[in-house]
């Protein structure tokens, strides 16, 4: 059958999924328990023509993948705990400038340096509300090594499709757990690339209010000139104090995600037919919750 069956850690499956999805740039800074993601990126990316760079800190790592994505490369970074906090400002910048990228957070116990080798799920609220508001965010959380591979691909697909940063929220248990998974052949899983402009270069608007609410994105260096700013901007990308333009931008940022929740939301239901109590869980705790429900 020539199946590509592997025994992988969750962190290793994350990189395999990222490369399968087309990631060709990784910038990061070592931090337990996510370090294996950076280490394996440095090994595997050059084999597929990609680039790996270790930055001086987590702030620079997030900035680097924003630049990598603007240059046309599917880009990712990985971190944990306080590193995730340091990435928040540039994450907000990527949200308002609509730059697709993937941020992996392998959660550990905190606060501060906390317990680097112990699991936690305390960053779930920060992943949703860590920046300054007025934008949605897509956050996916796997419950197994197999799901880590699959959801990493989903992260890149959502990021490219909706032109937005996406967070993959792992935890130490899933990141370091080893399970058998089968890596599908190229083409078996659909890969989505960002929508490119088809208009004349001089008429291109990087933040145009399109029917699907997701403007086409030109790569830097392709001849499409446009301005990028962290300030509220108009369709051309230049800052504006117009309340009309500001409202229009924020409305579009919200709707391009909220209008597509049927496509984005991923969840499984167990034993809800006659349930009086609903238990909601994610990551490694989802498996424990299912076992507990079966026993109960």
- Pairing outcome for strands 138-140 and 165-171: parallel
pLDDT at 271: 83
Kindly report, residue by residue over 72-94, the tens digit of the pLDDT: 999 999 999 999 999 999 999 99
Kindly report, residue by residue over 261-292, the tens digit of the pLDDT: 999 999 998 888 888 888 889 999 988 877 66
HSE (side-chain half, CA atoms, 13 Å) at 80: 29
Q: What 3-state DSSP class applies to 182?
A: strand
For residue 42, the surrounding DSSP H or E stretch is: helix 35-44
CA distance 160 to 99: 9
Tell the CATH topology of 4-183.
Answer: Rossmann fold (3.40.50)
Low-confidence ranges of the chain (pLDDT < 50): none
Distance from chain centroid for Cα 182: 22
pLDDT at 294: 59
Q: Where along the chain do the CATH 3.40.50.970 domains lie?
A: 4-183
């Amino acid at each position: 059958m020539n199946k590509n069956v592997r025994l992988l850690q969750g962190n290793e499956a994350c990189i395999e999924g990222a490369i399968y999805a087309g990631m060709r740039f990784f910038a990061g800074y070592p931090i337990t328990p996510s370090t294996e993601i950076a280490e394996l990126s440095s090994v595997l990316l050059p084999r597929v023509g990609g680039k790996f760079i270790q930055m001086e800190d987590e702030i620079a790592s997030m900035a680097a993948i924003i630049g990598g994505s603007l240059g046309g490369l599917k880009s990712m970074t990985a971190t944990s705990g306080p590193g995730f906090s340091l990435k928040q400002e540039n994450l907000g910048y990527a949200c308002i400038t609509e730059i697709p990228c993937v941020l992996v957070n392998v959660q550990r116990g905190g606060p501060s340096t906390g317990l680097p080798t112990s699991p936690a799920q305390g960053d779930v609220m920060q992943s949703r509300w860590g920046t300054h508001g007025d934008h949605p965010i897509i956050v996916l959380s796997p419950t197994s090594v197999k799901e880590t591979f699959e959801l990493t691909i989903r992260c890149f697909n959502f990021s490219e499709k909706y032109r937005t940063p996406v967070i993959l929220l792992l935890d130490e248990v899933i990141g370091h757990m080893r399970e058998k998974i089968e890596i599908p052949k190229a083409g078996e899983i659909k890969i989505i690339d960002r929508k490119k402009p088809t208009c004349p270069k001089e008429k291109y608007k990087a933040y145009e209010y399109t029917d699907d609410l997701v403007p086409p994105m030109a790569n830097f260096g392709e001849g499409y000139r446009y301005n990028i700013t962290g300030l509220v901007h108009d369709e051309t990308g230049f800052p504006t104090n117009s309340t009309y333009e500001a409202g229009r931008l924020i409305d579009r940022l919200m709707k391009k995600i909220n209008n597509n929740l049927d496509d984005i939301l991923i969840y499984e239901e167990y034993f809800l037919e006659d349930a009086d109590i609903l238990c909601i869980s994610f990551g490694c705790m989802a498996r424990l919750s299912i076992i507990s429900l079966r026993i109960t």
